[in-house]
Amino acid sequence: MNFKQSNANNSSQQETDGALFRKTSQYLMPVKLNGTDTAQHEYNIYPVSSLGAGKIFNGFSSLADYIAGQKTVVIDGYAGVFWSRIMTALNEWFTAKGLTINWIETSAYLKPTEEVEKLVSPFLGTTDSVWGTKCTLQLHDLYMVDQLAKQIPDNSYNINIVIGPGAALSGWDAPLIYIDLPKNELQFRMRAGSITNLGAAGVEEPFNMYKRFYFVDWVLLNAYKKQNLDKIAIIADGQWPNNINWMHAADFKAGLNHLSQSVFRVRPWFEPGAWGGHWIRERIKNLNKDVVNYAWSFELIVPENGLVFESDSYLLEVSFDFLMFHNQQQVLGAHAARFGDEFPIRFDFLDTFEGGNLSIQCHPKLKYIQENFGETITQDETYYILDCQDKAQVYLGFQESIDPQEFRTALENSQTESKEIEITDYVQSHTAQKHDLFLIPNGTVHSAGANNLVLEISATPYIFTFKMYDWLRLDLDGNPRPINIDHAFNNLDFGRKGQKVQDELISKQAVIQQGEGWQLVHVPTHQEHFYDVHRVEFDSEITIETNNLCHVMMLVEGEAVSVKTADGTEQVFAYAETFVVPAAAKSYVLTNLGKGRAKVIKAFLK
Chain segment 398-447, per-residue pLDDT in tens = 999 999 999 999 999 999 999 999 999 999 999 999 999 999 999 999 99
Smallest Cα–Cα separation from 236: which of 408, 380, 58? 58
Q: At what angle do helices 60-70 and 83-96 cross, to 10 degrees?
A: 70
Beta 159-163 vs 72-77: how paired, if at all? parallel
Residue-wise pLDDT for 486-528, tens only, equals 999 999 999 999 999 999 999 999 999 999 999 999 999 999 9
Q: Measure the CA–CA gap between 375 and 184, rounded to whole angstroms.
A: 21
pLDDT at position 325 over 80:
yes
Domain map (residue ranges) of the chain: 2-259+303-310, 311-504, 510-605
Give 238-254 pLDDT, tens digit per residue: 999 999 999 999 999 99
Start-to-end C-alpha separation, the chain: 32
Portion of the chain with pLDDT greater than 70, in percent: 96
Give the relative orientation of helices 249-259 and 321-332 as an angle to the nearest 10 degrees. Answer: 40
Check pLDDT > 80 for residue 107.
Answer: yes
CATH of domain 510-605: 2.60.120.10
Hey, what amino acid is at 251? Answer: D
Mean pLDDT of the chain: 95
Q: Is 425 helix (H, G, I), strand (E, B) or coil?
A: helix
Q: How far is CA 130 from CA 125, 215, 466, 565, in A?
A: 8, 11, 10, 42
pLDDT tens-digit map of 527-543: 999 999 999 999 999 99
| Contact between residue 140 and residue 198 where contact means Cβ atoms under 8 Å apart | no
pLDDT band, residue 36 (cuts 50/70/90): low
401 CB neighbour count, 10 Å cutoff: 10
Chain centre distance of CA 490 = 28
Residue-wise pLDDT tens digits, 558-601: 999 999 999 999 999 999 999 999 999 999 999 999 999 999 99
Query: Do the domains 311-504 and 510-605 sit in the same CATH topology, yes or no?
Result: yes
As a whole number of angstroms, the distance between CA 349 and CA 270 comes to 9
DSSP state, residue 454: E
Position 38 scores a pLDDT of 41
Q: Are residues 47 and 265 in contact, defined by beta-carbon separation less than 8 angstroms?
A: yes
- Exposure string for 478-506, b = 16+ CB within 10 A, e = fewer: eeeebbbbebbbebbeeebbeeebeebbb
Q: From residue 16, how far is each of 10, 21, 105, 187, 434 by CA, in Å?
A: 12, 7, 23, 17, 45
Residue 377, classed as helix, strand or coil, is coil
Rg (Cα) of the chain, in Å, rounded? 25
Query: Model-level pTM greater than 0.85?
Result: yes
> DSSP readout, 3-28?
E----TT--SEEEETTEEEEE-SSPP
Asked if 131 and 214 count as a contact pair (C-beta separation under 8 A), the reply is no
- Cα 208 to its chain centre, rounded Å, is 19
Q: How many CB atoms lie within 10 A of CB 361?
A: 22
pLDDT above 60 (res 1): no
Instruction: Name 411's Cβ contacts closer than 8 Å, sequence gap at least 6.
Output: 421, 468, 469, 483, 485
pLDDT at 8 over 80: no
**DSSP of 314-329, one letter per residue?**
EEEEEETHHHHHHHHH
Helices marked H in 72-138 = 83-96, 113-120
Please state the rounded mean pLDDT for residues 297-325.
Answer: 98
- CATH topology (fold) of 311-504: Jelly Rolls (2.60.120)
Q: How far apart are CA 414 and CA 397, in angstroms?
A: 20
| Edge-first strand listing for the sheet containing 49-50 | 49-50, 306-311, 314-319
Task: Evaluate whether 471 touches 359 at the Cβ level (below 8 Å).
Answer: yes
Instruction: Give how far Cα 117 sits from Cα of 18, 121, 139, 216, 417, Å.
Output: 31, 6, 14, 11, 37
pLDDT tier, 2 (very low <50, low <70, confident <90, very high otherwise): very low
Residue-level pLDDT at 17: 57
DSSP string computed for 484-550: -HHHHHTT--TTSBTHHHHHHSB---EEEEEETTEEEEE----TT-SEEEEEEEESSEEEEE-TT--
Q: Which of 4-18, 85-99, 206-220, 291-305 has the lowest mean pLDDT?
A: 4-18
pLDDT band for 5, please (50, 70, 90 cuts): very low
Q: Please state which CATH class domain 2-259+303-310 belongs to.
A: alpha beta
Average pLDDT over residues 157-172: 98
Number of residues that make up the chain: 606
Which string of DSSP letters, residue by residue, matches 145-164? HHHHHT----TTSSEEEEES
Q: Nearest 5 degrees, angle CA 91-CA 97-CA 98?
A: 85
What distance in Å separates the CA atoms of residue 61 and residue 172, rounded to the nearest whole number? 24
Closest by CA to 395, choosing from 363, 353, 426, is 426
CA dist 144 and 127 (Å) reads 27
Residue 429's alpha-carbon distances to 219, 426, 432, 501, in angstroms, are: 39, 10, 9, 11
With CA atoms as reference, report the closest residue to 295 among 357, 350, 360.
350
Cα 338 to Cα 99, 362, 525, 605, distances in angstroms: 51, 26, 20, 11
What would the mean pLDDT of 172-197 be, rounded to a whole number? 98
pLDDT above 90 for 35:
no
C-alpha to C-alpha distance for 161 and 326, rounded to whole angstroms: 27
